[in-house]
Amino acid sequence: MDQVIVHVETEIYPTESEDKVKSAVVSIFGGVSIVVEPEGKVRLLTAEASGQDSLAKFRMILHSDRIRDAARRILRNSIRGSIIDFCLNKQVASAGHISFCEETAESPLGPIRVTITADNPQLLVEWLAEKSER
């Protein structure tokens, strides 16, 4: 995989702990560089990382949570050109697990929005969520 860029963003509401939201993002994506900036009544957390290795923790959680097959289906359906775009439940991420969700409704505190740009997104999805053996 030549080029992989991971961009993560989520809103931090006044009722949320900034440290807990940062911890949720790090628990899924490891060593990302995080920036928090005010955006109206909320703060916007953005995180960036590059390289396939930046997704190693995400891949490991998909494997340990035994959701590779479902994740592969969701990730494949999230590919638009060279971009994989999906949302994760913020509360589930704070527990170190992955639950895909829609942009709204399924995550009361707002989702974690993930955009991955890759030279070959199909190949990246196969690496992230390789077919499980039955």
Contact predicate 102/87, CB 8 Å: yes
In this prediction the pTM is 0.91
3 state SS of 67: coil
Question: Can you tell me the distance from the alpha carbon of 4 to that of 29, in angstroms, rounded to the nearest whole number?
Answer: 14
Strand pairing class (33-39; 100-101): unpaired
Q: Identify each DSSP E strand in 19-74 by its residue range.
A: 33-39, 42-50
In a domain, 87, yes or no: yes
Q: What is the pLDDT of residue 105?
A: 59
Number of compact structural domains in the chain? 1
In a domain, 133, yes or no: no
Mean of pLDDT values over 21-42: 92
What's the pLDDT tens digit per position in 53-77? 999 999 999 999 999 999 999 999 9
Question: Can you tell me the distance from the alpha carbon of 113 to that of 90, in angstroms, rounded to the nearest whole number?
Answer: 9
In a domain, 74, yes or no: yes
Q: How confident is the model at residue 134 (pLDDT cuts 50, 70, 90)?
A: low
Residue ranges making up the domain that contains 114: 4-128
